[in-house]
Amino acid sequence: MPSAPLADRLSAPSGPLFFPVTPFAPGGGLALDVYGAHVGGGVEAGAAAVFACCGTGEFPALTPEEFEACVRAAVRAAAGRVPVVAGAGYGTALAVRYARIAEAAGADGLLVLPPYLVAAGQRGLLLHYREVAGATSLPVIVYQRDNAVLTPATAVELARADGIVGLKDGVGDLDLMQRIVSAVRAESPGGLLYFNGLPTAELTQLAYRGVGVPLYSSAVFCFAPEIALAFHRALREGDDAAAHRLLDGFYRPFGELRAQGAGYAVSLVKAGVRLRGLDVGEVRPPLHEPAGEHLERLARLIEHGVALLERDGGPA
């Protein structure tokens, strides 16, 4: 692995942040060979980092043994070319266990998901993330969403904590994020990396960029890397016109399709990977597969998105 710390490697990514799906074989077990091909193909296509076994990777559906196997496979496939960040979650004790498994498997960092079920207060959340961060040498990115929404004061304390380097937002409250960014900037000079973690984050990234959140997850990169790369390049180069063409012609319709079913932020993405020729299997319960008509719409939408790029001269 390159010697640069994770925060440095993620601060100005050369491509999208890749959240691969987890492939399952027809019998229900892991398809690790397919997973290696999926991760390796994403790295070769231009991903700047691999976030293994996170939300899109169905972290809650994996056993600890499967989690370890997937993280090891992702590390092998990335081969040091880009960092591998692994998910970790549930209550504090299990999150610590997953963090240690990820460290032993060779991960470069952790994305810590909200604690399972408990609606904790700010002090409890702070204790939770500090304990997970202190359990390994891996840098930690905190994922804010659902039952784990931080105040600006708590974000400042996290920024001061050893081992915590980033905050990923899945709430979508831009007023809150602006106040968090401002408070951390004023009160913790070391700061944090900020990520837009909303489903289909490209839809909101122009707005997030305006409040100081430059990084975003790209689920679309899983199945249409050429489209995700073109959008990332448009943002990097300040080409808002190109970004708007992709938003209007692809991302908005995809977001509207994603909203047609519960869990489609994962199952529709996995279906997209299959449509592009890689058999990653179906999602595990409690998620379910998209309706047939929605798969047909997705296929047409991918075709239309690729055609948009061709009319613009193709991806660089």
CATH, residue 45: 3.20.20.70
Does 215 fall in a domain?
yes
Residue-by-residue DSSP string for 40-66: HHHHHHT-SEEEETSTTTTGGG--HHH
List the domain range (segments joined by +) for residue 71: 6-236
Q: Would the pLDDT of 313 be above 90? A: no
pLDDT level of residue 301 (50, 70, 90 thresholds): very high
Looking at the domain assignment, is residue 279 inside a domain?
Answer: no
- Catalytic: 168? yes
Task: Tell whether 21 is covered by a domain.
Answer: yes
How many structural domains compose the chain?
1
Distances (CA, A) of 99 to 85, 133, 166: 10, 9, 16
pLDDT averaged over every residue in the chain: 95
Residue 277 placed within a domain: no
The pTM for the full model equals 0.94
Instruction: With cut-offs at 50, 70 and 90, classify the pLDDT of residue 314.
Output: low
Q: How does 175-186 read in b/e, with b if 16+ C-beta sit within 10 Å?
A: ebbebbbebbee
Kindly state the average pLDDT of the residues 71-90. 97
Cβ contact 122:128 at 8 Å:
no
Instruction: Tell me whether residue 250 is in a domain.
Output: no
Predicted confidence (pLDDT) per residue in 237-267, tens digit? 999 999 999 999 999 999 999 999 999 999 9
The residue among 20, 51, 50, 56 whose CA lies nearest residue 38 is 20
Angle at 87 (CA atoms; ends 166, 74), nearest 5 degrees: 110
Domain-embedded: residue 245: no
Instruction: Examine residue 145 and state whether it is found in any structural domain, yes or no.
Output: yes
Q: Which of 98, 168, 194, 270 is catalytic?
A: 168
Compute the half-sphere exposure of residue 310: CA atoms within 13 Å on the CB side of its CA: 6
Q: What is the pLDDT of residue 18?
A: 98
Q: What pLDDT, in 10s, does the model give residues 96-141? A: 999 999 999 999 999 999 998 889 999 999 999 999 999 999 999 9
Quick: pLDDT tens for 6-52.
Answer: 999 998 888 999 999 999 999 889 999 999 999 999 999 999 999 99
Q: Active-site residue among 35, 98, 129, 143?
A: 143
Checking if the pLDDT of 290 tops 90, the result is: yes
Confidence bin at 4 (pLDDT 50/70/90) = low
- The arithmetic mean of pLDDT across residues 169-177, rounded, is 97
pLDDT at 1 (0 to 100): 33
Does residue 248 belong to any structural domain of this protein?
no
Residue 143: active-site member = yes
pLDDT tens readout for residues 6-19: 999 998 888 999 99
* pLDDT of 3 strictly over 50: no
List, for residues 52-73, the tens digit of each pLDDT value.
999 999 999 999 999 999 999 9
Measured CA distances, 274 to 38, 54, 249, 271, 278 (Å) = 11, 19, 22, 5, 5
pLDDT over 90, % of the chain:
92
pLDDT at 92 over 80: yes
C-alpha 155/C-alpha 141 separation (Å) is: 12
pLDDT exceeds cutoff 90 at 168: yes
